[in-house]
Structure 1
């Protein structure tokens, strides 16, 4: 039987652990990046209500885990949000649309956490005007906290610490039922249009679309290198830079130690790391059981914020259902090499017009660990 490249890579990782032997093998099996995961344990552990809410907001999903938020807390009861211009994705996200969607996720988690704590948050979005086409130093939002009674969303708040982006292949024998899809649709209330499908023909079309889009991103040198530059390989790198794309745990640590996996190896188009990686992302795209997508009538920065707020609500609702969500927005990226699939995605998902802001695959899959995060204090602006 011929092994898939996914299985080959796993076997290589297992072999590397064995080859490390003795003390070295014990070393790699304890390489959890605990420092980078500490913000999950710190959520809610602040006396100030703004910091308490922000300690949950920093756990929001965001593109390439760049965590592009910076906050100013120098006014009592107020949070001013800026974008960190050093954390943009100029090749895969040239207009920073996805970055703004991620900031919308951040704002919504802050609002949900504050409501659970007895505070209402009112947002003044883009008070200095919307930054277009490029992001700059203007304020993204001013969030003002005030005491309130009621308005809590405990069912969503309870899932913040459980939420993950489940990027593994899903159980192909376990369908996603229509009632589950309806529950997800009902969680979205910030202005996006939402649609779902579990229809076999449409699901297969979206499997193929997303697999082909991943391949284009992979095979376009400047977009692929943007991702590889953000690889964090092994505990030491993840703890030092708890953003980007996390490759930690025993297999990746062993492969790093034995030279089987590195950024240089990933860029070698004839090497096993590159060819296996491409096979893995295509295989994962094909192992999907349903899809959900969000459409905005326009494509203003405010529309993008609203899509992010709805996207994270959908993630929390899916978590409550035991369902995995994996953003698959490569076909929605605006770099030139993706133009054909961008048009195809919009013809398929928004035939009446509008901008498809997010697309995600749905299904049931394994438990996965938390993703690394910068601590809250690293995201507070002091000047």
Structure 2
């Protein structure tokens, strides 16, 4: 059993001084097995698979999605066709009660799939919700039927080159490096249907930092919404590799604290605890180092609008990556539960969202350190029989 004497921890400063064999132990704590699907997709060579659907799906499962829930399931019973379903066991009922954000994640999946198909000379013909749009939540009906049709004339998308470099970056951004409006104007051009706007001016950025943090505080201090995140935390290598989804807290610091009983989940939920206050302080750094903001709106809020928002969001994220920037969604003020209603209205007002528009995504930007890919379930776990 590892003893407390093995560690001297300064939480918040993020320092662990290792003693004895702990340094060697720390070097083994990378949950690399959880990232194997990224390597598997990289290893695929265009045209080498007898089934183009495998190439397309291997890349699609790398798409961004809320809380890394990976809510997609593919059925391949019809040759040349993919029927995409929502995995109803992967809901976020407290923070995403109408499955809007998860639907956006499915849109990201569809867009990356279509890009990958084009790389191997196939056109993705997408029919959304062929059995009707499920409301008020997603159900067992298909989200999309996607036919892959061989077509040598289909253009390759230059954004596809960023698929393996695109990662959500939750680290502190460089506050000495501003983000130019001109750069973001170019990124906004990646969207096909959604309206993308941005804020880069110092006064606007400071105001949006404060507003988005106040929304985050509501989520953290509302027990049921905070518990939803805490329940999805995977702390340390073993937990991450066993369940490569949810919120990964990897590395020797987090795992060491967990082994010492200092990452107690119940204390994470207790606003009076030291763990809660330190966690708050650690997360606020993300907000304090936001150097610009982008947001994405659609003219409506149908399921098709949400899918379109997801397709444009991942395109935007890939363009952000290509520009050398880092991105992290700040979704708290956009969430549709009672305690967030006031902040939802405040955010719409601050961003000048029109009466008939839906604010679908709001993200922070800046220049950040390199980060590793988020864990993913292997493709075979995301395919089901008819």
TM-score, length of structure 2 as denominator length: 0.93
1:3 corresponds to:
none
1:33 is matched with which residue: 31, 34, 45?
A: 31
Of residues 246, 253, 271 in structure 1, which corresponds to 2:273?
271
Give me the whole-angstrom Cα distance separating, in 2, the residues matched to 1:13 and 1:204.
29
Match of 1:145 in 2: 148
Q: Deviations over 1:279-326 (max 9, x none)?
A: 222221121111110111110000000000000000100111110111
1:365 aligned onto 2:368? yes
Q: What is the total number of aligned residue pairs between the two structures? A: 372
1:289 aligns with 2:287: no
Measured in 2, the distance between the counterparts of 1:174 and 1:295 equals 27
Runs of 4+ in 1 over 3 A off after TM superposition: 10-13, 150-154
Rounded Cα–Cα distance in structure 1 between residues aligned with 2:325 and 2:153: 28
SS of the aligned residue for 1:120 comes to strand
Superposition pairs for residues 249-260 of structure 1, below 5 Å?
249-260=251-262
1:42 aligns with 2:40: yes
Matched, 1:123 2:126: yes
Q: From the superposition, tell whether residues 327 and 70 of structure 1 become closer, same or farther in structure 2 (CA, over 3 Å).
A: same
Q: Shift in Å at residue 12 of structure 1?
A: 6.0
* 1:81 partnered with 2:84: yes
User: 1: CA distance between counterparts of 2:345 and 2:180?
Assistant: 29
Q: CA deviation at 1:29?
A: 2.4
Scaled by the length of structure 1, the TM-score of the pair is 0.94
Q: Report the equivalent of 1:91.
A: 94
**After the TM superposition, which residues 1-383 of structure 1 pair with which residues of structure 2 at under 5 Å, given as runs?**
8-11=10-13, 14-15=16-17, 18=18, 21-43=19-41, 45=44, 47=49, 48-189=51-192, 191-353=193-355, 354-383=357-386
CA separation in 1, counterparts of 2:353 and 2:328? 23
Aligned residue for 1:36, secondary structure, equals helix
Find the aligned partners of 1:260 and 1:29 in 2 and give their Cα distance: 21
User: Are the counterparts in 1 of residues 221 and 271 from structure 2 also a CA contact under 8 Å?
Assistant: no
State the alpha-carbon separation in 2 of the partners of residues 359 and 241 from structure 1: 28
Contact 2:326 2:368 in 1 (8 A): yes
RMSD of the TM alignment (CA)? 1.5
Give the distance between the partners of 2:274 and 2:117, measured in 1 at CA.
47
Structure-2 separation of matches of 1:51 and 1:367: 29
Q: Any unmatched runs of 5+ in structure 1? A: 1-6
Deviations 1:192-238 (A, max 9, x none): 11111212222112111111111110000000000000000011000
**Deviation string for 1:143-179 (max 9, x for gaps)?**
1100112443452111100001111121111011122
3-state SS in 2 of match to 1:356: strand
Structure 1 residue 369: Cα displacement: 1.0
Q: In 1, Cα distance between the equivalents of 2:274 and 2:83? A: 46
